Amino acid sequence: MAEINPLSTDLQQQLAELQAQGLALLGVAADETPAQIVAAVTDYVRDAREQGRSLDDEAVFALGALIGAQYVRGLGWHWGDVTWDGDPDSAAVGVLSPDESLFNNPIGWVGQIAESGGGVPFMLSYNMILANQVPLFERGSATGLY
């Protein structure tokens, strides 16, 4: 089972700063819809990969925090600090569905996608969750969904 804790005030502030950096990197206004911002991140990462540009850690953290914020704004998810099976090595910060059955580590996800050779599924995942087309898992299990 997952142990889910709220984020510290310091970590919440760091995420807010990263989100602002992500908006600046994309040249997108904070009042754009969550879907528009997720689409902008998708396009940015796709373009970087097509042009052979790698994303530095600063960009990965900023864009990941920004995606997480859109899950919060647009899907009603919330940030949490999760540890699975009592193993501190499994801990991760990410966003959770309202019933905490689903979890996404958006910073790790952006880093993984930026380095992979596959698709850039940020918008697809967001739209599938929005349409409630997701697998069902036990409440509080924080099962990864990417």
The mean of the pLDDT values for the chain is 97
The letter for the amino acid at 2 is: A
pLDDT-derived band at 107, boundaries 50, 70, 90: very high
Burial class (CB in 10 A: 0-12, 13-18, 19+), 69: buried
**pLDDT higher than threshold 90 for residue 117:** no
Quick one: average pLDDT of 113-142?
Answer: 96
List the beta bridge partners of residue 94: 80
pLDDT of residue 33: 99
Q: What distance in Å separates the CA atoms of residue 116 and residue 99, rounded to the nearest whole number? A: 30
For the chain, how long is the longest CA-to-CA vector? 42
The residue segments making up the domain with residue 106 are: 2-144
Number of domains forming the structure of the chain = 1
If pLDDT is split at 50, 70 and 90, which confidence band does 1 have? confident
- d(CA 126, CA 143) in angstroms, rounded, equals 16
* 3 — pLDDT class (breaks 50, 70, 90): very high
Per the DSSP assignment, residues forming a β-bridge with 66 are none
The two structure tokens encoding residue 144: 């990864």
Domain of residue 79, CATH code: 1.20.120.1090
